[in-house]
Amino acid sequence: METLLRIAVQKSGRLSEDSLKLFKECGIKFINSTKKLKSASHNFPVEFLFLRDDDIPGYVEDGVADLGIVGENVSAEKQKEVDLIKKLGFSKCRLSLAIPREVEYSGVTFFEGKSIATSYPVILGEYLAKQGVTCDIQEISGSVEIAPGIGLADGICDIVSSGSTLIGNGLKEVEKIYKSEAVLIGNKNLSAEKKEILDKLTFRIDAVLSGKSNKYVLLNAPNDAIDRIVSLLPGMRSPTIVPLATEGWSSIHSVINEDEFWDKIEELRAAGAEGVLIVPIEKMIS
Q: Which residue number, 54 or 196, has a Cβ lying nearer to Zn ion?
A: 54
Contact 15, 51 (CB under 8 A): no
The answer to the question of residue 14 lying near Zn ion (CB under 5 A) is no
The binding track of 81-100 with respect to ligand PRT, each residue x by CB under 6 A or -, is: ----------x-x-------
Contacting residue, 5, 26, 46, 74, with ligand PRT by CB under 6 A: 74
Based on the shown chain and the rule CB under 6 A, indicate whether residue 34 belongs to the binding site for ligand PRT.
Answer: no
41 near ligand PRT, rule: CB under 6 A: no
| Using rule CB under 6 A, residue 10 touches ligand PRT | yes
Question: Which is nearer to ligand PRT, 156 or 232 (by Cβ)?
Answer: 156
Residue 19 partner contact from Zn ion, ligand PRT, none using kind-dependent CB cut-offs of 5 to 8 Å: none
Judged by CB under 5 A, the chain residues 25 through 54 that form the site for Zn ion are: 53-54
DSSP string across 44-82: SSEEEEEE-GGGHHHHHHHTSSSEEEEEHHHHHHHT---
Q: Smallest Cα–Cα separation from 6: which of 42, 50, 71, 58?
A: 50
- ∠ CA 131-165-127, rounded to 5°: 10
- Half-sphere exposure for 212 (CA within 13 Å, toward CB): 12
C-alpha span between 241 and 250 (Å, rounded): 7
Q: With CB cut-offs between 5 and 8 Å by kind, which of ligand PRT, Zn ion, none does residue 208 bind?
A: none
Residue 202 burial (10 A CB sphere; 0-12, 13-18, 19+)? middle
Identify each DSSP E strand in 12-151 by its residue range: 38-40, 46-51, 67-71, 83-87, 93-100, 115-118, 136-139
Q: Taking CB within 5 to 8 Å according to partner kind, which of Zn ion, ligand PRT, none is near residue 186?
A: none
Of residues 54-113, those binding Zn ion (CB under 5 A): 54
The nearest distance, CB 20 to ligand PRT, in angstroms, is 14
Candidates 98, 160, 177, 217: give the one binding ligand PRT (CB under 6 A).
Answer: 160
Q: Which of ligand PRT, Zn ion, none is residue 126 near (CB under 5 to 8 Å by kind)?
A: none
Contact flag: residue 140 with Zn ion (CB under 5 A): no
The window from 11-19, 130-138, 194-202, 231-239 that contacts ligand PRT (CB under 6 A) reads 11-19
Number of Cα atoms under 13 Å in the Cβ half of residue 264:
23
Least Å from the CB of residue 35 to ligand PRT: 16
Question: Could you say whether residue 158 binds ligand PRT (CB under 6 A)?
Answer: yes
The total of other beta-carbon atoms located within 10 Å of residue 139's CB is 13
Q: Please give the Cα distance from 234 to 209 (Å, whole number).
A: 18
- Amino acid code (one letter) for 123: I
Binding footprint of Zn ion on the chain (CB under 5 A): 53-54
Binding footprint of ligand PRT on the chain (CB under 6 A): 10, 13-15, 52-54, 71, 73-74, 91, 93, 158-165, 180
